[in-house]
Amino acid sequence: MAVVARVLFVVAAVFSLAGVALGAGEPVDSSNVDATVLASDDAWIVEFQSPRCGSCQEMAPVWGEFVKRNERYVRFGQVNIDTDEGMELARSSGVIEHGIPSIWAWDVRGSAEPTKIWADFETTTVQHLESLVWSKYAKRKEGLPLAKLDAGVVA
């Protein structure tokens, strides 16, 4: 009986750690991407990740801090590719070929294709993510959050 209790404890601990990567950004998947991200006039930055991925777990605090520091400028989402709907979105948008964790932007009005911001197995820093994002988009004090661009407009 004690062995069963220990196994259950370890399983519960593993699943609670897996949840660490979740929660920074609105959950996005194939069932809601049209209504939330694509229908929005706001630009979205979305992290594709898996709670079972070690690199994703290492990236979780960086992503969380990045979201916290920049949520007034842009909308944030998070895709869990371990769900059928999350994997469907990753495949249909061409993200899965680049690996996880990865960060993408839906930043062009009317486009279902995201723009790659970052994808790597090595954890990055909040400052590096900010330099990647804000070298492409100017932080604006008016009209926040950042609006999507019209097709053909270069940021």
pLDDT in tens, 45-56: 999 999 999 999
- Per the structure block, which two tokens stand in for 129? 């993510």
Q: Is the pLDDT of residue 9 over 80?
A: no
Distances from the Cα of 76 to the Cα of 5, 95, 101, 105, 152, angstroms: 39, 16, 15, 9, 23
Kindly tell me if the per-residue pLDDT of 142 is higher than 90.
no
Using pLDDT thresholds of 50, 70 and 90, give the confidence band for residue 12.
very low
- The structure's pTM equals 0.79
Domain boundaries of the chain, sorted by first residue? 2-136
Q: How are strands ordered across the β-sheet holding 115-119?
A: 26-27, 75-80, 44-49, 102-106, 115-119
Q: Which residue has the higher pLDDT, 3 or 8?
A: 3
The CATH classification number of 2-136 equals: 3.40.30.10
Region 129-154: mean pLDDT is 68
CA distances to 15, 25, 73, 130, 151 from 53, in Å: 12, 18, 28, 23, 35
Residue range 16-69, pLDDT digits in tens:
334 434 468 999 999 999 999 999 988 899 999 999 999 999 999 999 999 999
Beta-strand (E) ranges in 15-57?
26-27, 44-49
Cα–Cα distance between 128 and 133 in angstroms, integer? 9
